[in-house]
Amino acid sequence: MKTGMLSAHFKGFGMKRLSAVETDPYTSNQHEFNGVSSYKKVFGLDKMELPATFLFLSDTEDKCQSESGTITWYDARENHPTRSEYRLYYSSSTVMPRAQSGDLCIVALQQDDTALVLIADEGSSIEAQLIWLFGVESSMETGVLVADEVSMDAIEITEQTRRILEEIGIDTWVEDGDVDVEPMLKHFNGGWPTTTAMSEYARRLAGQEITVADSDGAIRRWFEMEERLFRAYERVLVESRVRSGFSTVDDFTAYALSVLNRRKSRAGHALENHIEHVFQKLHVPYVRNGKTEQNKRPDFIFPGIEEYHQAAHPYSHLRMLAVKTSCKDRWRQILNEADRITVKHLLTLDRVLSVNQLNEMSNASVVLVSPYGLTSGSASGPVVSLKIAEFLALVG
């Protein structure tokens, strides 16, 4: 096990496609995964029952589901003198009935000897991201793939893998102990800073020099620095609040929800803040959150909102940039934010998207902008998308 690698969290995993007999309640109610004999590489030869977290993952947020349960690894022919037949039994849950034939199934053994059972919607971007996360080159159309701790020693936890791991409930920020929080506590007087103030603080530490050629690298440095700083700072403030206790369960749940909501909204605003700083430093004309039709407020309009509302200004000279750290199903919100602009640009930190989602975006005239570069998650290789430097050439 190597710190900073995927093996720091997993002892091994098995990945397969679910079949009809595993998902159709009218076909089978055995609560077992089939074709799992190769999982012996992960679970060994002895019978074991493990606490497990079941997750159904989809690009559509209201379809996602999480529940606790157990899995049991055992040899159904344990008493047979020459034969063995290993099976993986799972307890009843509200997650498995959501699964369908063809969905990706990953059963991962964590370092604390608990299990993660991940079911990913077939054809979804989260499915492509999980395949990429676990270092699988194929699209897992058939067969079973099993990997152990040694093979995961080569998979480094990066900013991109952190974000995917967080989707499945694994917090890698606790390992990041090299952030000195004391200067931040002093700078922000021990309170929650505004997103603008935190973004400025992160840029100051990471260095604010910027050129067009370095714009993609600068966005990555600034955003990653802010994530590291904020998570370390958040941990100190939240732990202090937790130690003080809560008078009721409702108080606790309300506070926990506020922490999660702050994380989500802050990340999106942080990315907007940093790309806006690029526009300012490189003297790119723009308006942030200008009002278009039906009181819509796109993230950025170029060259400005006045030009957008001038009928005489050619629509071909107008550009719109939406900013979302993750696409998921929310990317469709941008389609009606600026009626005069047919081709809309979307800046995202997602590095892996499904072929289905990329095709849907292309059909909707959405062009992706990514500081990391984009991969389809398929065997066909990389998909062309704009870098930030290329987008700047359109609007500069």
Q: What tokens were used for 34?
A: 């089939």
pLDDT in tens, 201-227: 999 999 988 999 999 999 999 999 999
pLDDT value of residue 380:
42
Q: Are residues 311 and 358 in the same domain?
A: yes
Whole-number average pLDDT of the chain: 88
Q: 169 lies in a domain?
A: no
Reading the block at residue 358, the tokens are 């990329």
- Please give the Cα distance from 328 to 194 (Å, whole number): 26
Q: Does residue 60 sit in the same domain as residue 126?
A: yes
Does a structural domain hold residue 93? yes
Domain boundary among 257, 281, 305: 281
CATH number of the domain that residue 17 is part of: 2.40.330
| Statement to judge: residues 53 and 99 lie in one domain | yes
pLDDT at 148: 78
The predicted model gives 7-32 an average pLDDT of: 80
pLDDT tens-digit readout, 291-329 = 999 999 999 999 999 999 999 999 999 999 999 998 887
Same domain, 10 and 145: yes
pLDDT, mean of residues 82-109: 88
Do 113 and 145 belong to one domain? yes
Residue 163 lies in a domain: no
**Pair 40, 144 in one domain:** yes
| Domain annotation covers residue 39 | yes
Kindly state whether residue 152 falls inside one of the protein's structural domains.
Answer: yes
What is d(CA 298, CA 338) in angstroms, rounded to the nearest whole number? 7
Q: Is 351 inside any structural domain?
A: yes
Say which residue the tokens 């605003």 belong to: 269
Residues 148, 18, single domain; the answer is yes
Q: What is the pLDDT of residue 305?
A: 97
* Same domain, yes or no: 208 and 237: yes
Q: Taking 90 as the threshold, does the pLDDT of residue 154 lie above it?
A: no
Note whether residue 318 is domain-resident: yes
**Residue 278 in this model has a pLDDT that exceeds 90:** yes
Q: What is the CA radius of gyration of the chain?
A: 24
Each as own residue / partner, the long-range contacts of residues 183-189 (CB below 8 Å, 24 or more positions apart, any chain) are 184/229, 184/232, 184/233, 185/233, 185/236, 188/233
CATH assignment at residue 291: 3.40.91.80
Distance of alpha carbon 350 from its chain centroid, rounded?
7
What integer is the mean pLDDT of 6-33?
A: 81
Give me the pLDDT at residue 252, please. Answer: 93
Q: Are 199 and 193 in contact (CB under 8 A)?
A: no
- 373 and 388 both lie in a single domain: yes
Domain that residue 332 falls in = 287-395
Last residue of a domain, one of 252, 281, 310: 281
Q: What angle do CA 16, 19, 21 make, to 5 degrees?
A: 135
Query: Does residue 177 form part of some domain?
Result: no
- 88 and 10 in a single domain? The answer is yes
Total domains present in the chain: 3
CB 217 within 8 A of CB 278: no
Count of alpha carbons within 13 angstroms of residue 378, beta-carbon side: 14
Over residues 173-191, the pLDDT tens digits come to: 765 567 889 999 999 999 9
Structure tokens at 169: 């409930």
Confidence of residue 382 (pLDDT cuts 50, 70, 90): very low
* End-of-domain residue from the set 124, 141, 157: 157
Given a cut of 60, whether residue 381 has pLDDT beyond it is no
- Both 143 and 36 in one domain: the answer is yes
Q: Is the pTM of this model over 0.85?
A: yes
Whether 60 and 133 map to the same domain: the answer is: yes
Q: What is the rounded average pLDDT of the residues 136-146?
A: 68
Mean pLDDT, rounded, for 39-44: 89
In tens, the pLDDT along 52-83 reads 999 999 998 888 999 999 999 998 876 676 67
